[in-house]
Each structure stands twice: as C-alpha cells, then as structure tokens.
C-alpha cells in the first residue's frame, strides 16, 4: 500500500473570513485578521486551514459568486495579503486550502457578461444556454423553460436573458450561472486558475458543489419524486428526482482529471463538497485507488443523533464506504448548516464528547470556526437576512421550515467569532459589524474559556495535541469494541506497537467499563475513578487509554 498522503492524516479548521477577525475596523473580517489569529489556530492543534472564498466578487453570495479567480476582493485585502497568508501558514508547519467555486461564476464575471451579450460572441458557449422550449413570445412563462429542471435551492434553475432570447442554467441562485464544462476552453481557463494558486503555494482546494459540474448532455427532464425537501443523503426534492442534474458520470471523470492537474504540483488536497447517497459520492474519490478527489464531505452526519448507537452505525458506514486507501471526513457543521450546538441542545458536556469523537475516530476532522468554544445559531428573521437564500422563501412562514427541519437563513451560523467579552466580542472595532454578534458572547468567548482548564476550548486543544502525538489516532486502523454497556461507544486505534482505546459515554448516567489498561492518555470530566480492571465513565464522560 502506498504511504498515506498528508491530507489523510491532517485536521481541518474552516474559516469564514468575513466573520473571523476584522483587522481594519470596517465591520468585516479580512485576511490580515486571519494572519493575526494563526497562532490561535495552531494552538488548537488544527494543521490545515480551509478558508471560504475571498476572491473578487460582488458578494451577492458572500464570495461564492466569483468575478475574478485570480484576484482578491478589496474588503478582504490584497494579493500580497493572500501570499503572506500562505507563507505564514507554511512557516508554522501548517497547510492552507482555498475554496474553489468551479461550477459557476458571478453573473458579473466578464466571461458571463460577454457570454450573455449575444449568441455568437467568443464566450457564447461558456455557459449553459438553451432556447425556450416553444415560441420565444411566451418564453418567460414557466411552461416555456427549456426543461423541467429545478435548481438546488428550489424552483426552476433556468433564467431568461433577453439579449440572447435564451435561458441560462444556474444550479444554485440566479446570479450564479453554471459554466459549461463540455466546452474545452472553460476547462482550460479553470485549470489555469487552479494552477495559478497551486503555483503560489496553496496546498489544495475545497471544491464547491463539485457534484453538479456536469449536467445531462441531452437535457432530459428530471423524473417526478414525492420528496418535498432535499435531505443530506438525497438531494432530490421539490417533487423532483435530481437524476440528470447531479452526480453525472462525467463529473467522476472530471475529478480524476482535476487530480492529475493538481499532481503537477505534488501532493495537494482536493476536498469535494458533494451530496447524495454515500455509494454515489464515494465515486468521486476514484474507483479502487485514490486517484480522484482526495476527500469528500459526507453530509448525512450533519443530522447526527447524540447516541452511542448512532455513532457506532456511523463508524460502520464510514469504514465500509471509505476503507483504506480512502479516508472519511468527520464534519458536524459548516457555514451553510446549523451549528452542532443546535443538535446538542446547547449542552457543553455533549459538545466535548462530540469533539472527542471527531478528533479520535479514523478520519479527517473538519471543524467550523467557533465550534471550539460552543458558539450557537443566532435566530434571525428571513426578511432582514443578508444571505440571499432565505429571500427566496420570504413568503413561507418560518415555522414551516422549523417544522420540516429545514435550514434557510445562513446568517444564523455566520455571526462574528467571539474572541472576548469586550464590545463586538473583540471581533471588530467598528460601530456596526456586518452581521450582529451573538448576545451570548460575554460568556461564550475565547478569552473566557482560555482560563478554564475544563472548557470546551481547552479540551479541544488537549485532544488536538494528543492527535498530533499519537500515530495511532492519525494513521491507525479502527476497530469497534463489542460488549460495552448501553450508551457507551468504544473503539481501538492501533499503530505499530501502540494500541489506544477510546471510550465515550453518550448517556447522562455513569457507566462502568471492565477493561485493563496501562496508562490513561486523556479523560473527559470523568473516568477518574480507576478501579482494578474497570473504569468509570461519568455521564457524557470519555477516556483514551493505552492498552
Ligand atoms: C456551496 C457553498 C454555499 C454556496 C453554494 C453556492 O454549497 O457552501 O455557501 O452558497 O455552494 O456556491
């Protein structure tokens, strides 16, 4: 077996740059702000930083609508700041991956402006254009759209451009037109952008909605489905099966092609944002060998249930679908979905146990900024949202979303990082920050937790350090333990002569586990009643022991 690539052994910290740290007092986080906090991230034990996009963009989707792939948006800084960021990260022995939005550009990108201007300009075929299905006189009517495809956000993804008398396709929102990867010039241009950043030393990319890059070449209508809302394991919804709009065979092939481009620069991380059934998304990694994307998110786990049975089944699934030479990613929150505290009922004890699982299971942990201090969602009305997504659903009462377990207002999880108890949680000196700071910042902030040795923050720091020191946690296989008391999950990680057992009590009641061990590596708020040949895990307690 070839040696494991670095990106299978690393741990990832996700930064949403707009909300991380504002260095110049304009209320918006920036690259210089990230630079000032690198030591903090290093101290957490995370080895790779993924930053959401800071490229030139009208910011209609806060950077996920790019208008120049090789320049930096002025509110985030300059090209020099970006280069310094790469350099400073590397100086610390860490890595950094950028967020590459290949599927679509902003509608303000010069490519799109040119493309939409006429049917015969040099970029006419750079986006996905189709004529109305019937007479152009009625083309704005629903029935005249090129086919029945829904966008990922609901409703038709076809949008009419009078300049061409045609529709263009957007998988996400109308101002994010999809590029046409069946045109070799598009591929070439995007590979150039990829090479540009790799040449600057970037360690790889997180790939935005990578599984929609190709759509059916024949534009077949999608079949009807009874499914109302998309779920993490099945993106079909809005009464349509996303058969021809997602996970097309050409996209798997494209993953391999992109991999060969990045390999010109050595071992670089490709982390795909993909969605769908586990068996399908797994195909983005390659067939039998790791020759596609290096890693994919498997978002079904964002809907986790806090029970030992759930996490046992999750491990079984991940081990089945991502065995060597593949590697699962363990992720429980990001800039698009509820923070994990939402599912943990704001219980810090549970957050500590979740972190212990995430940092010790066989996989790459990926943690969203603020999770390390237990930041929570900040509920806000759809009407005043800055996020463009909820505006699509303005007429739907909020309780329907909550009832269906749907999440639409992403502002709620993008509030400024809570650094300390001063004004604006120490995020910015501005009068007004771009999104409000959560009112719980006086007690939930880095400085406050810094001083408490049992805080979530310090537990994550300790676990991050153990992960770095113990080869078994970074590199060893995982074996589930049987015969444990109800509510307790246990697994063994082995590396050379070293054998560690991780025991996690998902129940609020204490549990006794009969086991012999030679050394306790870490204990979480309990497990300190060591008896002969047995240990006690208090409610939501955990222990890492050497066998
Ligand atoms: C991804 C991003 C999300 C963005 C969308 C469109 O899902 O994570 O924030 O809005 O793609 O680019």
Instruction: Return the pLDDT at 345.
Output: 97
> 423 — phi, psi (to 5°)?
-50, 145
* DSSP for residue 47: -
264 is catalytic: yes
Ligand 1, residue 336: give the atom nearest the CA: 9
Domain ranges of the chain: 9-105+184-234+243-383+412-450, 110-169, 384-411, 478-546
Atom number, ligand 1, closest to the C-alpha of residue 64 = 12
Q: pLDDT value at position 137? A: 45
Residues 417-462 have pLDDT tens digits of: 999 999 999 999 999 999 999 999 999 999 999 999 999 999 999 9
Q: Give mean pLDDT, residues 252-260.
A: 98
Please name the helix (run of DSSP H) or strand (run of DSSP E) that holds residue 499, with its range, or none. strand 498-505
Which residue minimizes the CA distance to atom 5 of ligand 1?
64
Ligand 1 binding residues, C-beta < 6 A: 61, 64, 101, 172, 208-209, 273, 335-336
- pLDDT mean across residues, the chain: 95
How many angstroms separate the alpha carbon of residue 118 from the centre of ligand 1?
A: 29
- Is residue 303 predicted with pLDDT exceeding 70? yes
Annotate 406-419 with three-state secondary structure.
Answer: CCCCHHHHCCCCCC
Q: Please choose from 16, 66, 209, 412 the residue to mutate so as to test ligand 1's pocket, defined by most ligand atoms within 8 A of CB.
A: 209
pLDDT tens by residue, 197-237 = 999 999 999 999 999 999 999 999 999 999 988 888 888 99
Nearest CA to ligand 1 atom 12: 64
Distance 517 CA to ligand 1 centre (A): 46
Q: How far is the CA of 173 from the centre of ligand 1 (A)?
A: 10
Sort strands 519-524 and 542-546 into parallel, antiparallel or unpaired.
Answer: antiparallel
pLDDT at 123: 98
Atom of ligand 1 nearest to the CA of 61: 10
Closest ligand 1 atom to 410 CA: 9
Average pLDDT (157-166) is: 96
Percent of the chain with pLDDT over 70: 97
Q: What is the pLDDT of residues 167-182, one digit of tens each?
A: 999 999 999 999 999 9
Query: What CATH number does domain 110-169 carry, 3.40.50.10490, 3.40.190.10, 3.90.400.10, 3.90.230.10?
Result: 3.90.400.10
- Residue 26 pLDDT: 98
pLDDT at 530 over 80: no
Query: Given ligand 1 and candidates 50, 52, 54, 64, which is best to mutate, with the most ligand atoms within 8 Å of its CB?
Result: 64
Distance 507 CA to ligand 1 centre (A): 35
Q: What is the mean pLDDT of residues 393-412?
A: 89
264, 316, 439, 454: which one is catalytic?
Answer: 264
**Which one is the CATH code of 478-546: 2.60.40.1180, 3.40.640.10, 3.20.20.70, 3.90.1200.10?**
2.60.40.1180
Taking CB atoms within 8 Å and a gap of at least 24, the contacts of 242-246 are: 242/150, 242/152, 244/149, 244/215, 244/216, 244/219, 244/220, 245/149, 245/150, 245/157, 245/171, 245/212, 245/215, 245/216, 246/211, 246/212, 246/275, 246/276
Nearest CA to ligand 1 atom 2: 208
For ligand 1, the distance from its centroid to the CA atom of residue 57, given in whole angstroms, is 14
User: Which protein residue has the closest C-alpha to ligand 1 atom 9?
Assistant: 336
Tell me how far the alpha carbon of residue 503 lies from the centroid of ligand 1, in angstroms. Answer: 36
CB neighbours of residue 513 within 10 Å = 20
Report whether 268 contacts 203 (CB < 8 A). Answer: yes
The helix/strand/coil state of 345 is coil
Residue of 208, 338, 412 to mutate, ligand 1, most atoms within 8 A of C-beta: 208
| Position in ligand 1 atom list of the atom nearest CA 65 | 12
Model confidence at 138: pLDDT above 50: no
pLDDT at 139: 46
Q: Which atom of ligand 1 lies nearest, measured to the CA of 101?
A: 12
Q: Whose CA is nearest to atom 7 of ligand 1?
A: 209
98-119 per-position pLDDT tens digit:
999 999 999 999 999 999 999 9
468 alpha carbon – ligand 1 mean position (Å)? 31
How much is the pLDDT for 398? 87
Q: Ligand 1 centroid to 300 CA: how many Å? A: 17
* Topology classification of domain 9-105+184-234+243-383+412-450: TIM Barrel (3.20.20)
The atom number, within ligand 1, closest to the CA of 173 reads 6
Which of 14, 50, 60, 61 for a ligand 1 pocket mutation test, highest count of atoms within 8 Å of Cβ? Answer: 61
The burial of 401, by beta-carbon neighbours within 10 Å (0-12 exposed, 13-18 middle, 19 or more buried), is given as middle
Would strands 129-130 and 269-272 be described as parallel, antiparallel, or unpaired?
unpaired
Q: What is the pLDDT of residue 528?
A: 52
Catalytic residue among 47, 208, 372, 449: 208
């Amino acid at each position: 077996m070839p040696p494991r690539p670095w990106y299978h052994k690393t741990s990832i910290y996700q930064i949403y740059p707009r909300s991380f740290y504002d260095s110049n007092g304009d209320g918006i986080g920036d690259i210089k702000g990230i630079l000032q906090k690198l030591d903090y991230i290093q101290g957490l034990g995370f080895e790779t930083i993924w930053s959401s996009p800071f490229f030139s963009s009208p910011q209609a989707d806060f950077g996920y609508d790019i208008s120049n792939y090789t320049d930096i948006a002025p509110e985030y800084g300059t090209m020099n700041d970006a280069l310094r960021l790469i350099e400073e990260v590397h100086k610390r022995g860490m890595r950094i991956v950028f967020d590459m939005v290949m599927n679509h550009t902003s509608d303000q990108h010069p490519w799109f402006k040119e493309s939409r201007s006429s049917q015969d300009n040099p970029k006419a075929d750079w986006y996905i254009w189709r004529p109305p299905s019937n007479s152009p006189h009625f083309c704005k009517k629903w029935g005249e759209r090129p086919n029945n495809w829904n966008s990922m956000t609901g409703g038709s993804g076809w949008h009419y451009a009078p300049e061409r008398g045609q529709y263009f396709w957007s998988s996400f929102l109308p101002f994010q037109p999809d590029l046409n990867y069946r045109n070799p010039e598009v591929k070439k241009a995007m590979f150039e952008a990829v090479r540009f950043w790799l040449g600057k030393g970037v360690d790889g990319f997180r790939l935005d909605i990578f599984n929609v890059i190709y759509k059916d070449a024949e534009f077949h209508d999608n079949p009807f489905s009874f499914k109302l809302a998309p779920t993490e394991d099945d993106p079909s919804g809005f009464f349509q099966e996303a058969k021809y709009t997602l996970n097309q065979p050409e996209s798997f092939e494209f993953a391999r092609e992109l991999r060969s481009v990045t390999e010109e620069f050595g071992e670089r991380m490709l982390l795909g944002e993909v969605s769908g059934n586990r068996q399908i998304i797994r195909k983005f990694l390659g067939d039998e060998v790791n020759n596609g994307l290096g890693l994919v998110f498997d978002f079904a786990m964002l809907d986790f249930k806090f029970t030992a049975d759930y996490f046992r089944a999750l491990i079984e699934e991940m081990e089945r679908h991502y065995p060597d030479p593949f590697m699962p990613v363990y992720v429980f929150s990001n800039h698009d979905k509820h923070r994990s505290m939402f599912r943990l009922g704001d219980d810090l004890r549970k957050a500590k146990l979740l972190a212990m699982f995430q940092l010790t299971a066989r996989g790459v942990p990926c943690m969203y900024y603020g999770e390390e201090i237990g930041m929570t969602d900040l509920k806000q009305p759809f009407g005043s949202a800055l996020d463009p997504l909820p505006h699509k659903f303005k007429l739907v009462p909020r309780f329907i979303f909550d009832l269906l377990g749907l999440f639409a207002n992403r502002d709620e999880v993008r509030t400024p990082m809570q650094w300390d108890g001063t004004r604006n949680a120490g995020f910015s000196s501005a009068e007004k920050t771009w999104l409000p700071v959560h009112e719980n910042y006086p007690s939930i902030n880095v400085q406050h937790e810094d001083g408490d040795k049992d805080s979530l923050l310090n537990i994550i720091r300790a676990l991050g350090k153990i992960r770095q020191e113990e080869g078994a946690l970074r590199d060893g296989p995982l074996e589930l333990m049987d015969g444990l008391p109800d509510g307790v999950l246990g697994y063994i990680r082995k590396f050379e002569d070293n054998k560690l057992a991780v025991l996690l009590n998902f129940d609020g009641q204490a549990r006794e586990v009969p086991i012999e061990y030679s050394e306790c590596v870490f204990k979480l708020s309990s497990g300190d009643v060591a008896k002969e040949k047995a240990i006690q895990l208090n409610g939501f307690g955990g222990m890492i022991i050497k066998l």
